[in-house]
Each structure stands twice: as structure tokens, then as C-alpha cells.
């Protein structure tokens, strides 16, 4: 159902219960509902927000438009977890209901102060001429889930940016509290701004400078920047929209990239010796990744498995978007690794030796080993006519590729159906998580990652080996009862 502009920005309380019941029923009838990935109960999900540990639980919010599949009036929907694998949906936690966020509670992050969780986000406001104003604002969530909004702009838009100024990430560095914010400068280039909380007071921010990270200045906007530290080494993750492909080749409509640097000096707003720009994920959908330095010492990340401006087949079931698994980030030999948190293995129900299968429930994990000079060409979601998602693991030629051309319902064709990446032939294992309409493929325990959506047609549930061989296991996965 296409929504009009009036409907996209209609106040939440003006929607009828009948409408919500109708779209919920439609969503529930979808054959593509995932079994262990976070999805909206109905309507549209985009960026993960406010990822944090608070009150004995992991808290995770997402950008949410409940009433259809439009990027309309956004709120923050809240979920919580004790193991980072099972997430329990609670409710819409931050509504777009004040003068500072009247056209959307946009993306942001969270940090605990005393006994409250401070939620730092962008209030999207349109004036009567529909001109955008972006306010960096906040709210406090108490332990019993009460929200108290702070009726004050915490960071003003700088003079040298356009109104594209959003997605504050609050982080701690050596005992001090900072924030980075994505922006478009007045020359229409994507940049990142760095701020410091005076005396660690989240109400009092001072501007430091544009973050210096050898920005190529070819994108027109940087969304969702994140700075995390692994053993003091900074990793900057960000979404440079419109990045020049001469800087780095990519196929998706918008890329999610990262750089690993050597050190960070907040005084000069510099990440020193940033390495080359790299793709975070080689698949079809991975955007707006939110990463945190968790209190238990791990560096954790979660992504939106979706992209702006792409039409997905679930739209006819009145919902869109899902989140990735929670991934732990590590650096090995100077390279970034991303792999689902350890607790993911708790989903494994039983294991079988890997072999072809005519039929599965499309909820499983494969752990495969391909010999150094070996090769395998595999179809997931395959049917009897040898259609399916084609995965080629080719250590001998130092290549992995994924092709969704002959699988499920076609979508996003203009961005190509095939993705590939280089691997060196020390390749050992490939872990593949399949969940109804999601795949996440981790090469060498996260050295390279391919994530994506696929919308299988009836009968596309098999695993077919087209050529070559691999050894390993097939694990059926069981999440238990999913409530959203």
C-alpha cells in the first residue's frame, strides 16, 4: 500500500486500530518472516539505534515507522536481550511528539549516566515550507522504561553544514565523553564533526573540529558514523553516500565502509594513520551499522540489512527491513574480523554431516571447510530446477562470490545480482547463517562478510552442490518462540 505524504507524517495517535490490525495480519501472513533476526511487527525498520548495556540487559532500539512501508514519521522501537541473540520486543520507546522531533526521531546512540540511559538522537523537524531542521537532542530512559525528553537542543547545527547533520554517536575515550555526528558541509561534501561533553555533562557540548581521518571528500553526505576502539586502535565505521567509485569500488546503492587507524587524538580531532577505506560487508544489504565498546570489553556491531531507496518484496505484506546478527569485532594481523557473538551457537539444535539436501526449513547454519586448493559451487535456497542462491568458494583462485540472480523474487536488479571479494588462499572455514529470507556468510570466521536478503519462491529450500567439494556440518537452528 502506497502512503500519501499526509499519511507518512500523520501523528501516531491518529491512526486507527483497524489499520494497524489489518497490516499486522498481512505482515504475519508473509512467507518470509525470519526466525532469529529482528524484524518489525509491521511497518518499516531501518537503522539500529541506542545499542547499550543498561539495567542488567542489552538494550537495542531501531528506527521505526509502524504504519506502512514508507520512510515516514520515525520513532525508536525498543528491544532487550540478555544474550545478544534472543531479543524481546518491548514497545515504541521514543515518539516523535515534541517541537524538536516533530517529523521524526532519527538515529542516535546511548550511554548510561548515573541510573539513567541517555539517548542521544537527531530530531527531524520540517518547517511550514517543508524545510528540514536537524536538532541533536536527547532523552533519559529510567530503569522502569520511563522516557523523559530533554527539551533543549544539545548541539546546534554548525554554520558550515547544511541541514543534513545527524546521527550522533556518543562514546567514551580515556574517561571523557565525546560525540561524532555525520554531516554535509556547505560544499555538499560528507564530513564528520567531533564534540566533547564538558566535564562529562551530556547537556553541555563543545565543538572540537571536523574529524580528520583522511576524508576523500567525494561523498555528499556521511550517515551513521561510529568510532570504536580495539586495544586503543580506532576503527571508524561510516556510510559515505555517493562515494566516488574511483576511491573504492562498490555495487550497492549506498556503501557502509570503515577505516582502521593507529591512534586517536581528540584534542586535534585526528585519527592518525588511517588505513585504506574498506567495505564492511561484501553482500547486498548492510547499512547504518552501529558499533559500541561494550562494558564487558567486547566491541559489538549490528547492521540494518536493508538500504534506503530500494524496493523489497515484503512491501506487499506491509513490512520492511531486518537487523543483522550482533557481531563481535576484532583485529587480527591488522585486519578487521566480524563474527556473530559466541552465544549464537546456543541456537544449534542438532548437527549433521554436510551434504546436499532436497529440503530444509531455511533456518540453519552451515560450517564448511574448503581445502586450500579446493573449490565448491553451492546453491542455497535451491529448488529441483537448480535455481537458488549461488555461492562459490574458490580458495585456489582467491575468490568468493554470491549470486542471487536465479533465486526467489527479483529485486534491486539495477545494482547487479552478483557480489564477490578477494580472499587469500589461507581460507579455512565458511559459516553461513540462513534464516528464511536472510543470509549472512562469514569467511574465515569473519575476515570477509556477505550479508543479504533473498525472497525465496515456494519450494526453494534445498542445498545443492553444483561442483567441487567441502566438508563440514549442517546445524538446524532453533530460536524458540519469537514474539515480534
User: Which residues are known catalytic residues?
Assistant: 47
DSSP assignments along 37-99, one per residue: S---SSEEEEEEEEEEEETTEEEEEEEEETTSSSS-S-EEEEEEESSSSSEEEEEEEE-S-ST
Distance, in Å, from the CA atom of 209 to the CA atom of 121, rounded to the nearest integer, reads 20
Q: Is 288 in the site for ligand FRU (CB under 6 A)?
A: yes
CB of 345 to ligand FRU, least distance (A): 31
Nearer to ligand FRU, 47 or 365 (CB): 47
Binding mask 207-246 for ligand FRU (x = CB under 6 A): ----------------xx----------------------
CB of 464 to ligand FRU, least distance (A): 35
CB of 106 to ligand FRU, least distance (A): 3
Residues, the chain, total?
484
Residue from 166, 189, 390, 436 binding ligand FRU (CB under 6 A): 166
Contacts (CB under 6 A) with ligand FRU, residues 382-441: none
Contact 315, 40 (CB under 8 A): no
How do the residues of the chain divide into helix, strand and coil, expressed in percent and rounded to 5? 10, 50, 40
Nearer to ligand FRU, 105 or 423 (CB): 105
Residue with cell 520540517: 126
Nearer to ligand FRU, 107 or 226 (CB): 107
Residue from 63, 136, 169, 464 binding ligand FRU (CB under 6 A): 63
Distance, in Å, from the CA atom of 128 to the CA atom of 464, rounded to the nearest integer, reads 57
Q: Which three cell numbers stand for residue 341?
A: 557473538
Q: Which helix (H) or strand (E) holds 7?
A: helix 5-8
Nearer to ligand FRU, 59 or 107 (CB): 107
Nearer to ligand FRU, 66 or 472 (CB): 66
Q: How many residues bind ligand FRU (CB under 6 A)?
A: 13
DSSP assignments along 198-259, one per residue: GGG-TT-EEEEEE-BS------SEEEEEEEEEETTEEEEEEEEET--TTTS---SSS--EEE
Distance, in Å, from the CA atom of 372 to the CA atom of 470, rounded to the nearest integer, reads 11
Residue from 39, 47, 101, 365 binding ligand FRU (CB under 6 A): 47
Residue from 27, 30, 35, 46 binding ligand FRU (CB under 6 A): 46
Write out the residues near ligand FRU by the rule CB under 6 A: 46-47, 63, 74, 106-107, 122, 166-167, 223-224, 288, 308
Amino acid at each position: 500500500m502506497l502512503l500519501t505524504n499526509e499519511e507518512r507524517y500523520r501523528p501516531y495517535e491518529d491512526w486507527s486500530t483497524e489499520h494497524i490490525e489489518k497490516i499486522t495480519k498481512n505482515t504475519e501472513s508473509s512467507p518470509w518472516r525470519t526466525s532469529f533476526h529482528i524484524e518489525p511487527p509491521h511497518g518499516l525498520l531501518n537503522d539500529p539505534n541506542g545499542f547499550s548495556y543498561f539495567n542488567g540487559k542489552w538494550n537495542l532500539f531501531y528506527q521505526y515507522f509502524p504504519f506502512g512501508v514508507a520512510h515516514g514519521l520515525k520513532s525508536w522501537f525498543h528491544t532487550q536481550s540478555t544474550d545478544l541473540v534472543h531479543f524481546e520486543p518491548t514497545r515504541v520507546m521514543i515518539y516523535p511528539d515534541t517541537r524538536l522531533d516533530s517529523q521524526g526521531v532519527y538515529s542516535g546512540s546511548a550511554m548510561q549516566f548515573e541510573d539513567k540511559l541517555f539517548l542521544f538522537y537527531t530530531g527531524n523537524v520540517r518547517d511550514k515550507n517543508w524545510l528540514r531542521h536537524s536538532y541533536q537532542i536527547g532523552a533519559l530512559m529510567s530503569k522502569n522504561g520511563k522516557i523523559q525528553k530533554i527539551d533543549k537542543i544539545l548541539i546546534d547545527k554548525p554554520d558550515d553544514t547544511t541541514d543534513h547533520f545527524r546521527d550522533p554517536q556518543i562514546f567514551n575515550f580515556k574517561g571523557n565523553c565525546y560525540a561524532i555526528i555525520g554531516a554535509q558541509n556547505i560544499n555538499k561534501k560528507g564530513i564528520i564533526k567531533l564534540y566533547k561533553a564538558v566535564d562529562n555533562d551530556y547537556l553541555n557540548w563543545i565543538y572540537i573540529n571536523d574529524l580528520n581521518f583522511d576524508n576523500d571528500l567525494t561523498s555528499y553526505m556521511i550517515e551513521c558514523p561510529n568510532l570504536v576502539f580495539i586495544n586503543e586502535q580506532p576503527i571508524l565505521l561510516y556510510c559515505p553516500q555517493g562515494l566516488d567509485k574511483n576511491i573504492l569500488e562498490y555495487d550497492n546503492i549506498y556503501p557502509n565502509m570503515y577505516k582502521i587507524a593507529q591512534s586517536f587524538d581528540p584534542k586535534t580531532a585526528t585519527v592518525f594513520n588511517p588505513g585504506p577505506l574498506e567495505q564492511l560487508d561484501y553482500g547486498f544489504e548492510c547499512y547504518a551499522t552501529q558499533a559500541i565498546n561494550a562494558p564487558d570489553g567486547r566491541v559489538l556491531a549490528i547492521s540494518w540489512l536493508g538500504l534506503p531507496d530500494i524496493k523489497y518484496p515484503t512491501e506487499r505484506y506491509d513490512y520492511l527491513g531486518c537487523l543483522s546478527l550482533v557481531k563481535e569485532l576484532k583485529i587480527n594481523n591488522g585486519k578487521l574480523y566480524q563474527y556473530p557473538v559466541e552465544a549464537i551457537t546456543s541456537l544449534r539444535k542438532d548437527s549433521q554431516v554436510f551434504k546436499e539436501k532436497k529440503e530444509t526449513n531455511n533456518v540453519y547454519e552451515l560450517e564448511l571447510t574448503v581445502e586450500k586448493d579446493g573449490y565448491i559451487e553451492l546453491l542455497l535456497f535451491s529448488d529441483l530446477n537448480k535455481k537458488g542462491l549461488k555461492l562459490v568458494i574458490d580458495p585456489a583462485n582467491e575468490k568468493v562470490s554470491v549470486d542471487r540472480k536465479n533465486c526467489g523474487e527479483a529485486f534491486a536488479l539495477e545494482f547487479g545480482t552478483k557480489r564477490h571479494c578477494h580472499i587469500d588462499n589461507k581460507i579455512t572455514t565458511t559459516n553461513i547463517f540462513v534464516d528464511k529470507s536472510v543470509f549472512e556468510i562469514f569467511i574465515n570466521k569473519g575476515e570477509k562478510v556477505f550479508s543479504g536478503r533473498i525472497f525465496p519462491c515456494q519450494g526453494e529450500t534445498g542445498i545443492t552442490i553444483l561442483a567441487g567439494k567441502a566438508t563440514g556440518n549442517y546445524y538446524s537452528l532453533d530460536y524458540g518462540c519469537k514474539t515480534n
